[in-house]
Amino acid sequence: MSREKNDSIQCTIHNCVHHAQNADYCTLDRILVGTHEQNPTEKECTDCDSFQYKIS
Ligand code: SF4
C-alpha cells in the first residue's frame, strides 16, 4: 500500500501506518500534535496523536 506523501508533514516514524515508507513524510492531510505532560517544556513532551502502530 503506497499513498501520496504530504510535502508539508515530514516524519521519520516508519512504524506508523500513516508513514509514506518510500520517503520520510506522512500521508495524512493533517495531523494532531499533543502532549502527555501537564506543562510541556521540551520537544520530548510532545506527541503525534495521529500515530497508529503499523504491525509489520
Ligand atoms: S501520523 Fe504522525 S507519526 Fe504517523 S506518519 Fe504521520 S506524522 Fe508520522
Q: What is the pLDDT of residue 2?
A: 58
Q: What is the pLDDT of residue 6?
A: 98
Below-70 pLDDT ranges, the chain: 1-2
Q: What pTM does this model have?
A: 0.91
Q: Cα(55) to centroid of ligand 1, in Å?
A: 15
Find out whether the beta carbon of 21 lies less than 6 Å from any atom of ligand 1.
no
Cell of 10: 515530514
The three-state secondary structure class of 26 is strand
Q: What is the pLDDT of residue 9?
A: 98
